[in-house]
Structures are given as structure tokens and as C-alpha cells.
Structure 1
Amino acid sequence: MLTDLTEFRIDHSEDELADLRQRIQNARWPEPGTHDSQGISPDHLRELTDYWASGYDWMATQERLNRLPQFTATVDGLKIHFIHVRSDRPDAIPLILTHGWPGSFLEFEAVIEPLTAPPADQPAFHVVIPSLPGYGYSAKPVEPGWNFERTARAWGELMRGLGYARFVAQGGDWGSLVTSSMAGEKVDGLAAIHLNLPLIFPEDPPAQPTPAEQRALSMAAEYSAKGTGYYAIQATRPQTLGYGLADSAIGQAGWILDKIDEWTDHRGSLWDYLSRDSVLDLISIYWLTSSAASSARYYWENARGRGFRGPVIDLPVGVSVFPAELYAPPRHWADAYYPNLIHWNELDRGGHFAALEQPETFVSELRTCFANALEPYASPSRADPAESAG
């Protein structure tokens, strides 16, 4: 049940920013590593954090974000922050978008307007973008239990509480697990989903893999061997990690920049692909909300004896595979998981943060996925989301 629906504004002070700048200026830096594989170089990180301290304008970001309709509401006992932008179109499709780590609701900023106010010949959406429990401006859980299954149920309550009897969902990273769980559990009102990280892997790997299968197997093996250090720490000792990241702006920036640099499709030059401001927007959300430990705990919650192979989903499913994603399975592996696959497309550009990296492609994929899969929607009669709390 959704209660306590309240309008929300981001409100960080100049004192907080002055403290951030002082921490950056007083940071103690380690010596360079002995090999590039050991992590972000001091020069790369120092370039970004120097700009964070002297050139980046958080207050402009805060003002821009506060132009978006933001709310908090209590769902399953936890205060959840979300953006809710309604389309003017009477046939708009209600859509909930779920981010992952080290992302936030900010990943979807550039896709809100094209989804809610598209050309007349394209489908329109009412867009809801919640922050995961312990992330950004959502509350930090004070007891265990907020895993992706519980989040999936909460998202169903959120959408129904906003007056949407029928809706669709999209997710990548943790959002893929949340969205898949919504579909697997047949959350009331959910009509179809779209994923940009399909959680499919054969129970018995092929003895003689095709080139596409071999690529997927190699990606999985590479990630397992060299890319899971962050995961192991956050899944086992999130609290211990949190002390350092909550106290050190340099540490928090490095922890996130390492993954943005590794997981995006920048092809050699990150700053030719993403702006420093867009990366610092993400990092600043983690720093200013002090959510390093609480976001890492989501890994601990979801590592309690469960695997990450997705469920079999009977609902309509669409999948977009971006080439620089952590894992890109071949199309035919989807048959065992998604018997009602309505869309599968393998793109030529983009990585783990699809909506941030390639917003136009991301929007096009959602339009194509959902346009012909669903019957026409009737918009809820209540135009003011605050009224939808009942």
C-alpha cells in the first residue's frame, strides 16, 4: 500500500559543497599502480576530482532536477523517492524504469521528455522512475530484507498506488533483476517488460559452442575472473567499505569512475563519450546522500544463497543487447526463459548504462518493444499524482 505521498525537492547546501571541496583539496593520494589492470590511474581520477572541486556546478544540477516532478511515498514501510512525469496523451502507457549500481534515477533524465512527449506517430508513456532502497533520496533500510524480490513487489504497490491498473516495466543491472522478478511473480497490473541486461544462461553450457555462444561464454568468464572484485566486497562487507567511501570524496569518486570507465562503450576516451558533468552528477548523488554503504548493502541482500539466472517469464518480454554490456547472450538462449519474446535487438553502440550512453537508441527500443505488443491504454482519470494516494 502506498501512503504519505509528498512532493519532494532536492536541497543540498553550500556548506555541504564547501566540505566536499575541502575534502578533495586535503586528500592523501596513493602512488600510481604498477599495472593498468589494478584500477583507475591517479591522473585520470585527479583530473575529474579537480574539476569536481573547482569547475563543476552542483547547484545548477540541483536546480535542473528540481524542475522534474519528484515525490516520496511510503511503500511497504520504506520511504521511496521517485520521479513521476505524466504524458498529455490520453493513450499513454504507464512505465516504471529501474536503475542499478552505480547508477541512479539520473540515468534516465534524457529519456523522460521523448518518452512522455513523443511525435504523434509514436507511443507515449507516463514515466515513473524510483530510486532503489538505500539509493539516492530513497530511505536507507534499517533492517535486512530489502532484496530485489521485495523491491519488485513494492514497485507494483507504487504503480497501483499512483492509479495505474495496468503498466509496463524496464530495467538494467539491478533493475533487470527487479523487473524480471516483477514479471516472474506476475505482479498485479504488469503487462510486459523490457530488459537491457537479459539474465539468461543455459543450465548446460554447449560442448561445441557457436561463435555467438563462445562470445557470451567468454564474456561471462572474463567478468567472473577479473570484474567481480567490487561485487565480492559489496556482497560481503558493505559496512566496512562504507566507512572509507562515506568519508573520502576521492574514494567515492574513484569507486564509481572505475565502473563507468570499464562498463561504458567509450572505445578509448571516456570524456569524448560522456561529459564530466554527467559523470559527476551520478557521483555527487552518492556523495551528497552518503549512500555508499546503503547502496552496497543491496548486494549483500541479494547474495544470500541465490543465483542470478532469471526466471521463466510468461509475460511479453523485450530485450535490447548493447555491445559493451557486461554480458551479451545469443538470441536462441532466450527461448527457455522468454516464451513470449516480443522484441530482441542487438545494437551497434552502447554499454551498461544504456539510457545514459545512448538515450535516443534507448527510447527507440522501448517504443518498438511496447508499441504493438499491448492493447490501447486508457489514461487514469486523475491527472495530479498527489491525488492518487487516495
Structure 2
Amino acid sequence: MTIGPFKIPSIPPRQLELLKEKLNNVEYPNELEKNSTVGWKYGAPRWAVEPLVQSWLHDYDWEKARVKMNEWNHYHAMIHGLHVHFIHEPSDKPDAIPLLLMNGWPSNFYEFYKVIKPLRDGDNGNQSFHVVIPSLPGYGFSEAPKSPGYGIAKYGTMMNELMITLGYNTYYTYLLAGSDWGSNIGNWMARNCSEQCKGFHSVMPLCLPPSPTTRPSLLWSHPKAVVKYLISRLLGTEAVYGSGIEAEELAFADLAADPEAGYRAIQGTRPYTLAFGLTDSPVGLLAWMLEKYHNWSYHPSGKQDMEALPDTISTDDFLTLVTIYWMTGSMSSSTRLYYEAFHEDQSMSTCMGRVEIPTAIIQFPAELAKFPRDWVETNVNLQQYSEPEMGGHFPALETSEILVNDIQRFGKLLKTKKWIQ
């Protein structure tokens, strides 16, 4: 594998001119008459989208963001014939643990900018890490796959090869559920790359329920979890586990079971058709992403229906994430991962098989999918568990201190128990 330095580029003048032109000449879609009861039920409303469009046009400065991003060490590596972009920030601390941070959709590497320094430097005297943040193939500044078959297993193999090439033959893997594909790929790596990967930290564990029909061995390994699950089938999930948890495995494209599954149904079946609108229209791209950053984030104000983004996600940070997709034209290639995963051999599923390496789970209240702790324990080797009072699908942006502390705590546990040297 060849590795070379990389710098975040300026937006080419012609592309910037085209962006400004499109933002200046927006055709906004027809909507229902303004009605406070509608909120976000139909998707991203104009009153939330238009101010962000105006900020992108008049206030946002890509060059300012680019200078900040280029303070980190960026590289390109050739992996399986594709140029893969990644940040590599080694720590100067002798006990630092190699750490792989992976994004998902609709995110990119920039989501982690708040956590790089404190994790690298071991802020407050805590565990430090050699921080590696790749852009998944087809995301941001990583080259897009040119042929079918780049699903979870392929991406996991590539990320493992990257870490080995960097010299991290035994490394600690962190996976961000807010970047949900990072959690999916990491789960696969934790099960299939355990010679190198010695710890797994996840904010979105995707779990199979403790059903004795599909997993008879649980009858003697986790009998209490099985009984509780069977009772929930009789009395109802909420009566047994409380509200806010999934009754079954997260419905990938089942709108009846999960109203949030619409985007997955489209991207998992016909990503090409959707991509024309998201590639040609910067406003369409912004609105498609905004709906997810709005719906999947924690709104501490309690006024979710009346605000576009919570105070924890700034306009500039959101527009930087959007601009990376726009300038690289990567929305189309990023959504193809849904198709590949949806059509991948089910033996590759992240829910197939137990994670045996030490695992830490942190479940934020506004996360997309939350599972009971006893479900989690039947799926992973759980060594650390926490449920913060705030935070959502993008904790590296929303609640970075909570996330950093949880990762540092798990890193220290790995060291103390000598699960990682």
C-alpha cells in the first residue's frame, strides 16, 4: 500500500461560481399552508431550509473551514485499487492506544473534529490515543468504488488493511453510531479481525432479540434475558422494557415498523435515481441531510419542531459537512453503500454472530435505535455500559466531552486488564 500526504483543497472557482448561482436561484417546492401541527412530519420544511441556504450563500466561508481542517495530518492511501483519505494524528504519549474512528451517513470525517485533540493528547490526564479517521470509500475525499460488491465486509477488510499498514497490528476500534455505517463495519471487524482488533466501542449496537427460537443456546447462557423477552411478546415491549427501544431488529426498509426507514428504502433499492437530484441541486442535498441532522439529534431546548438544528450543532459545522459532500460529488457514492449492504450475503450481517472481544456500549437518548441492556449482553462481550442523559446520533458533534470521556474510560480499562498492550 502506498501512502502520501494530502491537503484539503479549495473549491475550484468554476464549481464555487456554479454553487453560488444555484443558491441564488432556488425553486422552492410547494408545501401545505403554514400549520403548527405539521412540524417535520412531511420532511424538512422551507422555514428551516431557507435560512441555511442563505447562510451558505452569504455567510459561510469554506476557506476558513479548510484552514482549520488542514491543521491535522491528512493522507491518501491506495487500498484495493482505491485512493482512501484519512487523518492520522499520533500521540506523543508512550501508553497511547491506536484508535480507529469511522464515520457513516450522512456524515464524513469532519464530524470528529472536536474529539481529535483531546483523544490524541489524553486531556485531563486520561488515556491517550493514536487517532486514525478515514473517509470511507465513496465518502468525501476517498475515491468511490467503481464496481458492485463494496459492502460492509469489503469496507471492513479495507479499514483493517489500513491499520495494519500504519503499523497497528493490534488496535482499539471505536465506531460512531451517529455515523451508523461505522458501527456496522466495526461490528463486522470486531468479529472477523479479532487478531488485530482488541476492543470495540459503539454508540449504536444493532442487536438480535434474545429469542430461543433463533438462538437456542441463550436458554442456558442468558435464561433471564430469554424469559423477559418472551414475557414482552405477551405483554408488549413497552410494558416490559419501557419506551424508546426497538421491539425487533432495526427494520431496514419497513415503513410500517419504522417511519424513519423511508430514506433507507430508497437508498437501499434505487440510489441512482435519487442521486440525480442530490448531485445537481445543492439545496436538495442540504435538505436531505438536514432532515437527518434534525431528526436524529438531541434537542435540549425541548423545541424540536420549532428549530432546524439544536444549539449543539452550529450552522457552520453543518454547512461544512454539506459542502464536503457537494464539492466532492460524493452523495451518490455514499448512498450506494445502502444498496450493497441491503443486497449483501446475510452471513455478512452485523447481527450475525456474537462479538467476543471486550466491548463498550454507550446509548444516547436520541439515538435512532436503542436496545435493552440484556439484549446487548447477549450480542457482545459487554465490559462497559452507559446511558447519558443527553446526546443523539452525532455525539462527536453534539456531546463531544461525554463521548471522549467514555472512550478514554474504556481505553484505560483495556490497559488495566491487559486486553491491549
TM-score (norm 2): 0.85
The residue number in structure 2 matching 1:387 is none
Q: Which stretch of structure 1 is more off in the superposition, 325-334 or 7-16?
A: 7-16
1:19 is displaced (CA, Å) by: 1.6
The residue number in structure 2 matching 1:384 is none
CA contact (8 A) 2:90 2:129 kept: yes
CA contact (8 A) 2:7 2:74 kept: yes
1:352 is displaced (CA, Å) by: 0.5
- The whole-number CA distance in structure 1 between the counterparts of 2:24 and 2:294 is 23
CA pair 140-148 structure 1, distance change in 2 beyond 3 A: same
- The whole-number CA distance in structure 2 between the counterparts of 1:51 and 1:32 is 22
- The whole-number CA distance in structure 1 between the counterparts of 2:108 and 2:29 is 29
Q: Which of 190, 208, 212 is the equivalent residue of 1:201?
A: 208
The residue number in structure 1 matching 2:325 is 286
Q: Residues 193-217 of structure 1, C-alpha deviation per residue, up to 9 Å, x if partnerless?
A: 1000011130535323454355313
CA pair 230-119 structure 1, distance change in 2 beyond 3 A: closer
Tell me which amino acid in the other structure corresponds to 1:197: M
Q: Which of 332, 355, 361 is the equivalent residue of 1:313?
A: 355
Q: Which stretch of structure 1 is more off in the superposition, 108-117 or 206-215?
A: 206-215
1:120 is displaced (CA, Å) by: 6.4
CA contact (8 A) 1:133 1:140 kept: yes
1:226 matches 2:230: no
Q: Which of 130, 133, 141 is the equivalent residue of 2:145?
A: 141
The residue number in structure 2 matching 1:370 is 411
- The whole-number CA distance in structure 2 between the counterparts of 1:332 and 1:318 is 14
Give me the CA root mean square deviation. 2.0
CA pair 336-213 structure 1, distance change in 2 beyond 3 A: farther
- The whole-number CA distance in structure 2 between the counterparts of 1:17 and 1:287 is 10
Q: Residues 309-367 of structure 1, C-alpha deviation per residue, up to 9 Å, x if partnerless?
A: 353011001100000001111111122111x2111101110000111111100100101
- The whole-number CA distance in structure 2 between the counterparts of 1:224 and 1:136 is 32
CA pair 170-310 structure 1, distance change in 2 beyond 3 A: farther
1:239 is displaced (CA, Å) by: 1.1
CA contact (8 A) 2:172 2:199 kept: yes
Q: Which stretch of structure 1 is more off in the superposition, 3-12 or 356-365?
A: 3-12
1:271 is displaced (CA, Å) by: 4.6
Pairing 1:1-390 to 2, within 5 Å after superposition: 3-11=1-9, 12-33=11-32, 35-36=38-39, 37-119=41-123, 121-171=125-175, 172=177, 173-202=180-209, 204=211, 206-207=232-233, 208=235, 209=237, 210-212=239-241, 215-217=244-246, 224-266=257-299, 267-268=302-303, 269=307, 270-304=309-343, 306=346, 309=351, 311-338=353-380, 340-374=381-415, 375=418
| Aligned sequence identity (%) | 34
The residue number in structure 1 matching 2:224 is none
Q: Residues 158-201 of structure 1, C-alpha deviation per residue, up to 9 Å, x if partnerless?
A: 00100112111111210111110001113431111100001113
CA pair 331-324 structure 1, distance change in 2 beyond 3 A: same
Tell me which amino acid in the other structure corresponds to 1:357: E
Q: Which stretch of structure 1 is more off in the superposition, 148-157 or 269-278?
A: 269-278
- The whole-number CA distance in structure 1 between the counterparts of 2:209 and 2:96 is 37
Q: Which stretch of structure 1 is more off in the superposition, 261-270 or 246-255?
A: 261-270
Tell me the SS of whatever aligns to 2:246. helix
- Which consecutive unaligned segments of at least 5 residues does structure 1 have? 379-390
1:125 is displaced (CA, Å) by: 0.1
Q: Which stretch of structure 1 is more off in the superposition, 51-60 or 206-215?
A: 206-215
- The whole-number CA distance in structure 2 between the counterparts of 1:215 and 1:223 is 17
CA pair 283-124 structure 1, distance change in 2 beyond 3 A: same
CA contact (8 A) 1:200 1:310 kept: no
CA pair 166-323 structure 1, distance change in 2 beyond 3 A: same
The residue number in structure 1 matching 2:217 is none
- Which consecutive unaligned segments of at least 5 residues does structure 2 have? 212-228
Q: Which stretch of structure 1 is more off in the superposition, 189-198 or 200-209?
A: 200-209
CA contact (8 A) 1:91 1:376 kept: no
The residue number in structure 2 matching 1:386 is none
1:33 is displaced (CA, Å) by: 3.6
- The whole-number CA distance in structure 1 between the counterparts of 2:315 and 2:256 is 26
Q: Which stretch of structure 1 is more off in the superposition, 204-213 or 26-35?
A: 204-213
Tell me the SS of whatever aligns to 2:87. strand
CA pair 298-65 structure 1, distance change in 2 beyond 3 A: same
CA pair 224-6 structure 1, distance change in 2 beyond 3 A: farther
- The whole-number CA distance in structure 2 between the counterparts of 1:329 and 1:297 is 27
Tell me the SS of whatever aligns to 2:98. strand
Tell me which amino acid in the other structure corresponds to 2:43: G
The residue number in structure 2 matching 1:388 is none
CA contact (8 A) 2:114 2:400 kept: yes
Tell me the SS of whatever aligns to 1:38. coil
